[in-house]
Structure 1
Amino acid sequence: MKTTDQHTSIYYHGTKADLKIGDLIEVGFVSNYGTKRKSKYIYLSETLDAATWGAELAFGDGKEKIYIVEPTGAIEDDPNVTDKKFPGNPTKSYRSQHPFKVVGEVKDWQGHSPEQLKMMRDHLERLKEQGIEAIED
């Protein structure tokens, strides 16, 4: 578990949900990824790139958004992009069962190219065909 130091770290959450400052992002809602089951964890990152992927790959037709969030409890390395796939945590991606408080929104961010998005979506589709879940709870 990583304890959070809100004074030195900025955390981002990419989604298509329409949220407002002060809203809490909580577990128990339908996941933005995979088989759309109820989420046991919520995810955040210290990098805009990881949050950008979150916004771009989230289910739904809403506008892609990246929020600045504060964890309200302990966070841990996201096993979906660490350990098995990458040594350490190069994407600085984390998960938690504790809510994140929305404290801001990144309005000016650059999305991935159409080619990069297609490659990632194709990769996720291949994993799905192999029975590999994109999100590990």
Structure 2
Amino acid sequence: MGEVLDDGPFFHGTKADLQVGDLLVAGRRSNYRSEIVMNHIYFTALVDGAGLAAELAAGDADPRVYVVEPTGRFEDDPNVTDKKFPGNPTRSYRSTEPLRVVGEVADWPRLAPEALQAWRDRLAALLADERNEIIN
């Protein structure tokens, strides 16, 4: 499998209703730019990061955080690593190979409505700036 970037555990935030054993795969529309079909599936080793991703995900369903395991190679997520921050402080990764759902985190830190709105506003401002493209 090559260099081990992180031993995990790993998490994926979404509004999808998933079951243990389900596979998360690349090829879905971006939560942040719906016109982009993503070549990777994204995950993090920080439950708070997965929670934020779940809160910001498209759709009206409840946000959920799942424990996942990569089924193959993965790399640092260039959208939040050296391109914008030195190293990988968010412990964010991506893979072209599926992630297997191995559990769900029942109790993860939720954002207050004001904090969530601040994140949505910040994200909207970032996406409005054409220089902030998604590295796919």
| TM-score, structure 2 as length reference | 0.90
- Distance between the aligned counterparts of 1:73 and 1:90, measured in 2? 22
Q: Unaligned 5+ residue runs, structure 1?
A: none
> What RMSD in Å do the two structures reach over aligned CA positions?
1.8
- Distance between the aligned counterparts of 2:69 and 2:18, measured in 1? 14
Q: Unaligned 5+ residue runs, structure 2?
A: none
Equivalent in the alignment of 2:51:
52
Equivalent in the alignment of 2:38:
39
Equivalent in the alignment of 1:71:
70
Residues 82 and 4 from structure 1, CA distance in 2 versus in 1: closer, same or farther, beyond 3 angstroms? Answer: closer
| 1:98-117 superposed matches below 5 A | 98-117=97-116
Equivalent in the alignment of 1:87:
86
- Distance between the aligned counterparts of 2:133 and 2:48, measured in 1? 18
Greater Cα shift, 122-131 or 8-17: 122-131
- Name the aligned partner's letter for residue 50 of structure 2: A
Equivalent in the alignment of 1:126:
125
Residues 95 and 54 from structure 1, CA distance in 2 versus in 1: closer, same or farther, beyond 3 angstroms? Answer: same
Deviations 1:72-126 (A, max 9, x none): 0111001111112211101111001000000000011111222221221111111
SS at match of 2:117: helix
- Name the aligned partner's letter for residue 131 of structure 1: E
Percent identity of equivalent pairs: 50
Deviations 1:44-86 (A, max 9, x none): 1100111011100000011100000010011100111111221
SS at match of 2:27: coil
- Distance between the aligned counterparts of 1:23 and 1:17, measured in 2? 11
Residues 136 and 62 from structure 1, CA distance in 2 versus in 1: closer, same or farther, beyond 3 angstroms? Answer: same
Greater Cα shift, 96-105 or 115-124: 115-124
| TM-score, structure 1 as length reference | 0.89
> After the TM superposition, which parts of structure 1 deviate over 3 Å for at least 4 consecutive aligned residues?
1-5, 132-135
- Name the aligned partner's letter for residue 87 of structure 2: G
